[in-house]
Amino acid sequence: MFALLAVAGVLVVAGKLGLGAFLPDLPNPFGAKTVDRSQPALLKSLEDLSRYEAASANLQVIVDTEKDAKFLPQVIKGERTVYVAAGEVTATVDFSTLDERSIVVSPDKAVTITLPQPVFSAPHIDPEQSQVVSRQRGLLDRIGSMFSDTPTSERGLLLAAEGKMAAAAAGSDLRLRAEQNTRQMLVNMLRALGYGNVTVTFAPTPV
């Protein structure tokens, strides 16, 4: 312990006397180490976007349902309804799941960003643009509707329309359009921040 204090005292005195040049380059045992754990500014900027609505599809579907009774003609028992539904499905990209592994910046300020694939929202049906255009019911169904609280409930039609819209969105180019719009938005934003080559890829989960 005494020897360690003596060495420290010699170093302090040597520094004050300007003799540091004559001493070997020894590490300072009392020096402090700084560790920068701050979040990259680029990553923080993308996280602030949270969910980005990249594209939307305006859809119109026709639901044509028919209910028949065995051994009875439709004029006696049965119902056929034609429902036209208009609505929208939105494709969004979730930026909140990004971490340091999702963004790679090279020394020459080229950026590679890996994003989760766009996901579709639940179909939103516009009641102002949707309606039953035809409903044919048999005699027994018309009589039964007189004693029903909801004789013409459209819940089943709405659910069927939502299913058709979801399928139509999945079979369209909505996801591709969302990827293109997101890529273009990021390229424009990052180039404005001084980044040159910007590469944006999509994966089921961030790499």
What are the tens digits of pLDDT across the range 123-151?
A: 999 999 999 888 766 554 555 555 454 54
CB 103 within 8 A of CB 43: yes
Query: CA gyration radius for the chain?
Result: 34
Q: How confident is the model at residue 8 (pLDDT cuts 50, 70, 90)?
A: very low
pLDDT of the residue at 121: 95
pTM > 0.95? no
Dihedral pair phi/psi, residue 123, rounded to 5°: -60, 135
Q: CA-CA distance, 207 to 200, in Å (whole number)?
A: 12
Q: How confident is the model at residue 47 (pLDDT cuts 50, 70, 90)?
A: low
CB 88 within 8 A of CB 75: no
Nearest partner of 51 among 112, 115, 114, 113, judged by Cα = 115
Q: CA-CA distance, 147 to 144, in Å (whole number)?
A: 6
- More confident site: 17 or 129: 129
97-132 in b/e burial notation, b at 16+ Cβ within 10 A? ebeeebbeeeeeeebebbbbebebeebebeeeebee
pLDDT of the residue at 39: 42
